[in-house]
Amino acid sequence: MTFEPLGLSPALLRALSESNYTTPTPIQAQAIPLALAGHDILGAAQTGTGKTAAFGLPLLQRLAKDTPAKGPRKPRALILVPTRELAVQVSDSLKAYGRHLRLNVTMIFGGVGMQPQVDNLRRGVDILVACPGRLLDHLDSGHAKLDAVELLVLDEADRMLDMGFLPSIKRVLSRVPQQRQTMLFSATFEPRIKALALEFMRNPQQVQVAAQNTIADTIVHRVHPVDGARKRDLLVEILSRRHTDQVLVFGKTKHGCNRLAEQLETAGLKSVAIHGNKSQAQRQKALDQFKSGKARILVATDVAARGLDIPNLPLVINHDLPMVAEDYVHRIGRTGRNGASGEALSLVAPEEGGLLKQIQRMLKSDIVMQSVAGFEPSRPIRLDAPIPKNGGGGQPRKPSMGARPGLRPGEQKPSGTRAPRKPGSRGGHGKPADRSAHAHAGPKQHRPGAGRPQHPSRGDSRA
């Protein structure tokens, strides 16, 4: 099957042909005709199946067909995403698909100065790709208006809910006209996602091309039991054996990822770390070093699981298991993409047995356990073990900064700031907390139009 029977315009087909994109993925083949017909869509497909093109192509066609009202161009399409690197990828893809259309695409996310974004909004916008927190900053300051939005897309809705963005999403939706077309895309369908869809969508057509929480069958899964205190040594042993492979290592905390990357460097393994507390420039530099091969190992928190596009990544290692089983899907989704083979290794301490059981229950399959000689755990892994509050396998996790008063759910206190002074306490006031979404964003940042467009058949690169 080709894109021609789907009803796309010649301009879009030309752009796809110029990029050698000829065959739609299942999610695209099902969603595009429904979207072109004006239906609200509730779409689910596993990571890497082409969700961006599934909503982006019909969105571009509708906006290009309808003549905008006279006067300053206000956003006619709004795409909400959880992280800045996903905003960049969606924006780059839309620019590639719409290269023969006269439509302006603008990104808004935290972690960078607001003034360039304000200038872009003033020049006029057709399509706005935004993280909820920073978008609210622009709405509250009057720089952005959403009263002309005709199409609304929530991409990676499950991740936005995981990051505590539900209140922000509802505030944004209160600024968008009720008469609109809405598309919600997610890697997973959970009851709360369907509840959210029923709250603000009109008779959505459901499209689901893969079973919930499925993982590519080209990925080999393996567990290495090891005491938590020896995880780092085992990781060094594994990475030392594989001298040429690029490896993505997932840690539990920002501080833990920094420390682990430094320890790997000390062991002679060129490593970089990315997480929400690093600046945009630091994240971009780390990702560039990894992609160019200057750094062979990238250590990341879960924020990167939905925002990295690394072709032919052969190996993903879970230094710490995720607290939420679904996050295993998104982590492992970085390898084994587009039919390629991949390998997923998890270093599991005895106290993490309950977390492992959650993952196996979700996958409906056991994962092979293989002890590494010299690193056998002091006691066996018990799958019926209770789940530790801090996830186990490492140091206790500090309370989330996002829970402090004055911060939006899921947001972090910016580095270098103090908590607000309580009445009657001594000392000066702390700086106000940054309300943008930048604390959740991943590493990838480009200037508008830079970088390679996302292949429709590859779909979204999620961090």
219 torsion bin: left (phi>0), alpha (psi -120 to 50), beta (else): beta
Task: Give the structural domain span for 183.
Answer: 4-208
pLDDT for residue 432 is more than 60:
no
In this structure, the answer to whether residues 235 and 267 fall within a common structural domain is yes
pLDDT for residue 454 is more than 70:
no
Tens digits of residue pLDDT in 4-46: 999 999 999 999 999 888 889 889 999 999 999 999 999 986 6
Alpha helix locations (H) across 307-402?
A: 325-332, 353-363
Q: What is the CATH number of the domain that holds 315?
A: 3.40.50.300
Domain boundary among 156, 179, 208: 208
- Tell me the C-alpha distance between 444 and 433, whole Å: 23
pLDDT for residue 367 is more than 70:
yes
Alpha helix locations (H) across 78-165?
A: 84-97, 115-123, 132-141, 157-162
Tens digits of residue pLDDT in 322-345: 888 878 887 887 776 666 678 899
Overall number of domains in the chain? 2
pLDDT for residue 409 is more than 50:
no
In this structure, the answer to whether residues 360 and 234 fall within a common structural domain is yes
Asked whether residue 445 is assigned to any structural domain, the reply reads no
Pick the range with the lowest mean pLDDT from 50-59, 242-251, 436-445: 436-445
In this structure, the answer to whether residues 161 and 291 fall within a common structural domain is no
In this structure, the answer to whether residues 191 and 295 fall within a common structural domain is no
Q: What is the pLDDT of residue 250?
A: 93
Q: What is the CA radius of gyration of the chain?
A: 22
In this structure, the answer to whether residues 261 and 114 fall within a common structural domain is no
In this structure, the answer to whether residues 13 and 149 fall within a common structural domain is yes
Distance of CA 446 to the CA centre of its chain: 16
In this structure, the answer to whether residues 69 and 168 fall within a common structural domain is yes
Asked whether residue 169 is assigned to any structural domain, the reply reads yes
Domain boundary among 180, 208, 236: 208
In this structure, the answer to whether residues 178 and 240 fall within a common structural domain is no
Comparing CA positions, the residue from 127, 99, 26 lying closest to residue 453 is 99
Asked whether residue 375 is assigned to any structural domain, the reply reads no
In this structure, the answer to whether residues 31 and 179 fall within a common structural domain is yes
Asked whether residue 437 is assigned to any structural domain, the reply reads no
Pick the range with the lowest mean pLDDT from 101-110, 260-269, 407-416: 407-416
Tens digits of residue pLDDT in 167-186: 999 999 999 999 999 999 88
- Tell me the C-alpha distance between 76 and 57, whole Å: 15
Torsion sign (Cα): 219, 353, 227, 379: negative
Its pTM stands at 0.62
Asked whether residue 314 is assigned to any structural domain, the reply reads yes
In this structure, the answer to whether residues 294 and 314 fall within a common structural domain is yes
